[in-house]
Amino acid sequence: MNIKITVIAAAILALSAAAQTPVYLDETCPLDERVADALYRMTTAEKVAILHAQSKFSSPGVQRLGIPGIWCTDGPHGIRPDVLWDEWDQAGATNDSCVAFPALTCLAATWNPEMSALYGKSIGEEARYRNKNVLLGPGVNIYRTPLNGRNFEYMGEDPYLSSRMVIPYIKGVQDNGVAACVKHYALNNQEVDRAHVNVLVDDRTLYEIYLPAFKAAITEGGAWSIMPGYNKYAGDHACENSRLLLDILKGDWEFDGVAISDWGAVHNTEKVAANGLDMEFGSWTNGLNFGASNAYDRYFLALPYLKLIEEGKADTAMLNDKASRVLRLIMRTEMNRNRPYGSLNSPEHYAAARRIAGEGIVLLKNDGNLLPVRAGVKKILVVGENAIKMMTVGGGSSSLKVQREILPLDGIRANASAKGIEVAYERGYVGDVTGEYNGVTTGQDLRDSRPADQLIADAVKAAREADMVIFIGGLNKSDNQDSEGCDRLEYNLPYNQDKVIEALAAANPRLVVVGITGNAYAMPWLDKVPAVVQGWFIGSEAGDAIADVLFGDVNPSGKLPFTFAAALTDYAAHATGDKEMYPGVAGDVTYKEGLDVGYRHTDRLGKDHVNFAFGHGLSYTDFKLGKAVLSESKIPGDGSVTVTVPVTNTGDRKGAEVVQVYVRDVKSSLYRPYKELKAFNKIELDPGKTADVTLTLDKNAFAYYDPATAMWTVEPGKFEILVGTASDDIAGRLPLAVTTPAIWHD
């Protein structure tokens, strides 16, 4: 009897426990049911508490209910080292080094979504291993001006290219149970006065140029979080902007994730409470170098928000929406027991970084086939500070602490040594000899006491004695170069590098210039230099990846994701010198150029104004595009058409080419750019081989945004399909008729 009673009692207790088990802990239940159950159990104070930070990079969960908090980490090129709880200084950890992946300009230059998927998977594994829940990246702000110090973190000037490249990155990261946080939404196109500048842009330009990549990240990539920028749009800060956050993001795009503020980007409790931001990080800090300890309860979404709720001055439904989104993020990440474990500094990650870098490096010019380095070269002179300077430290929030970084000079020497080639080095110029950011130091001593003229003279003397010269210069991660918080001051290369290049070209005609930059720059010496390579900031494997291309172990296949114009005034934002267009007047910057961003403007100017066009990139082999064919000569406005083009590798080595399809509206009721990228495909071919590339154009390829109706519109009429390998290299033109209109809401 006692045993029976005990068994029954135990069963009753088990049933009771089961009945009381929170649904939010049961991963077999639908996600929204789990979120609703957790929300029901929370107090108002607990709901508010999970909306703001508790340290520089973390937010609290609900300890009473066993709901964990969230840990964020900066990206988007690697997992940032840990900092102290309340400060930006290093935590002093010894296990937070990472692999530095190439900057996103390099990823975009691959023009290969498969590389984007590999990138996202790899960096997501590193974030997961470090137990980070939110990776603050990728960035997809459009390249409007080459002066923007943060362009190296983004994916170029074209909304279609950025849209296609961001989606696989997001999916790769989130497959690891780590949320991608797409940034900086939206119109964060300059660092000058970034915290307050008010962007004035017409609706059509907003929807056609500056929003598509964000939309793709949300509606196709399924991003779990997004970061509004520091700037204002139409008078309101992005973090407090109801049109961006409520109308477009959560309304039109049906975003179910979390809008997370940039660090210190919130300014007003009433606005942030009502206008769609969900989590606040980093107020009382500029996001770079100062902050206030123990300020978290004073955040705008902390006690001031709770007070508004308690006084009935803020909407509790909005509070519940914010808290629900944060709970959903927690359950997708930290509370997801099925997440993989991740990995850190693995051989696979270094291999991925090197592969992406090699595919993103762009061969801009190669007169006389100077590259790859050929038999008969016995001595190479390498010149330039960027050959010996670590680039993974500095530049702002993307600064990293790496396990290793192979320098260009070391990569070249290792590759050359295996081929019996001697490599000498000369500095040529002295730029930035520092190497520190937030307590991470490179440990390099780059000081050189020689005068500038002596540095050049020494380099010239050595150049005359070499069979070949490789100049490795460009920009770096210092203030007013490629760096968060400030823009470049000029379009020319800094530190008088143009003079160095001119002198080297006069001393040795076999000169290669390798630019390590995240931005375009002037090339007044271009006619005197036979070979130019765009090397980007490419992270841990920089030296080996550059050497792979220079010596031909990798056949370059990168294409420019933005235009290299001849002069700053060749970019639309700078064409007239109108300060209202850049950097702004009285706090307002006006995008008067409208749709004419990048190649949409520069290609109309002619070749004298463009050094290298959008989509340009050479190979060590040759390709020929055959006659392109359309599947249909006429389509309805809501239909689609395929373009098939045969591609032949006519050279003598294996290589890859990117087929680019642009659409031209022959006659439109509204102004349209002459051509716009609407499809691309990268194909690798053995020498002598031919393969067909087929690309699809749907209704979006023919549409424009009509601000009068707030609708996307396809007009009936004549179109041209332009097929080529760069925006200025069109091999074929195909006429197409659209027979009926199409109209739809975003």
pLDDT in tens, 558-602: 999 999 999 999 999 999 999 999 999 999 999 999 999 999 999
Backbone angles phi, psi at 26, to 5 degrees: -95, 105
Contact 126, 344 (CB under 8 A): yes
3-state SS string for 16-29: HHHHHCCHHHCCCC
Q: Determine the Cα–Cα distance for residues 468 and 459; give it in Å rounded to an integer.
A: 13
Contact 666, 707 (CB under 8 A): no
Mean pLDDT value across the chain: 95
| Total length of the chain | 746
Residue with the two structure tokens 């992406």: 356
- Return the pLDDT at 301: 95
pLDDT band of residue 135 (cuts 50, 70, 90) is very high
pLDDT in tens, 715-737: 999 999 999 999 999 999 999 99
pLDDT in tens, 331-358: 999 999 999 999 999 999 999 999 999 9
- Return the pLDDT at 88: 84
DSSP character for 244? I
Name every residue whose Cβ is closer than 8 Å to that of residue 150 and which is 6 or more positions away in sequence.
139, 141, 188, 191, 396, 482, 483, 484
Distant-in-sequence contacts of 93-96, Cβ < 8 A, 24+ apart: 96/130, 96/401
Average pLDDT for 624-631: 98
Contact 186, 203 (CB under 8 A): no
Q: Determine the Cα–Cα distance for residues 638 and 742; give it in Å rounded to an integer.
A: 6
pLDDT band of residue 295 (cuts 50, 70, 90) is confident
Beta pairing partners, 363? 533, 618
pTM of the model: 0.95
HSE-CB at 147 with a 13 A cutoff on CA atoms is 20
Burial class (CB in 10 A: 0-12, 13-18, 19+), 410: middle
Catalytic annotation present for 262: yes
Residue 17 has pLDDT above 60, yes or no: no
Where b means 16+ CB within 10 Å and e means fewer, 152-164 reads bbbbbbbbbbbbb
Both tokens assigned to 458:
């020494």
Residue 63 has pLDDT above 50, yes or no: yes
Both tokens assigned to 438:
């937030």
Burial class (CB in 10 A: 0-12, 13-18, 19+), 242: middle
Top-confidence residue, 17 or 141: 141
Both tokens assigned to 149:
């110090």
> Which whole-number Å values give the CA distances from 364 to 246, 393, 416, in the listed order?
43, 27, 22
Catalytic residue among 74, 82, 236, 262: 262
Q: What is the CATH number of domain 42-86+96-332?
A: 3.20.20.300
- Return the pLDDT at 297: 87
Q: Determine the Cα–Cα distance for residues 8 and 14; give it in Å rounded to an integer.
A: 10
Name every residue whose Cβ is closer than 8 Å to that of residue 462 and which is 6 or more positions away in sequence.
381, 383, 424, 426
Contact 322, 274 (CB under 8 A): no
Residue 1 has pLDDT above 60, yes or no: no
Backbone angles phi, psi at 38, to 5 degrees: -65, -40
pLDDT more than 70, % of the chain: 96
pLDDT more than 90, % of the chain: 93
Contact 224, 332 (CB under 8 A): yes
Average pLDDT for 2-19: 42
> Which whole-number Å values give the CA distances from 424 to 173, 379, 382, in the listed order?
42, 8, 6
> Which whole-number Å values give the CA distances from 532 to 291, 370, 470, in the listed order?
43, 10, 10
Residue with the two structure tokens 């973390």: 58
pLDDT in tens, 39-51: 999 999 999 999 9
Average pLDDT for 265-290: 85
- Return the pLDDT at 9: 42
Query: Which 3 state secondary structure label does DSSP give 642?
Result: strand
- Return the pLDDT at 387: 98
| Helix, strand, coil abundance in the chain, percent, nearest 5 | 30, 20, 45
Nearest to 227 by CA among 128, 157, 116, 137: 137
Contact 198, 588 (CB under 8 A): yes
pLDDT in tens, 464-476: 999 999 999 999 9
Top-confidence residue, 284 or 248: 248
In CATH, what class is 623-744? Answer: mainly beta
Residue 54 has pLDDT above 60, yes or no: yes
Contact 408, 538 (CB under 8 A): no
Residue 547 has pLDDT above 60, yes or no: yes
Query: Which 3 state secondary structure label does DSSP give 732?
Result: strand
Decide the pairing of beta strands 134-136 and 70-74: parallel
CATH number (2.40.30.10, 3.40.50.1700, 3.40.50.300, 3.40.50.1110) of 347-560 reads: 3.40.50.1700
Q: Which runs of E-coded beta strand occur in 406-485?
A: 422-426, 436-437, 440-441, 468-474
pLDDT in tens, 374-413: 989 999 999 999 999 999 999 999 999 999 999 999 999 9
Where b means 16+ CB within 10 Å and e means fewer, 306-332 reads bebbeeeebeeebbbebbbbbbbbbbb
Domain limits of the chain? 1-31, 42-86+96-332, 347-560, 563-620, 623-744
pLDDT band of residue 294 (cuts 50, 70, 90) is low
Q: Determine the Cα–Cα distance for residues 462 and 364; give it in Å rounded to an integer.
A: 26
Q: Determine the Cα–Cα distance for residues 733 and 724; give it in Å rounded to an integer.
A: 9
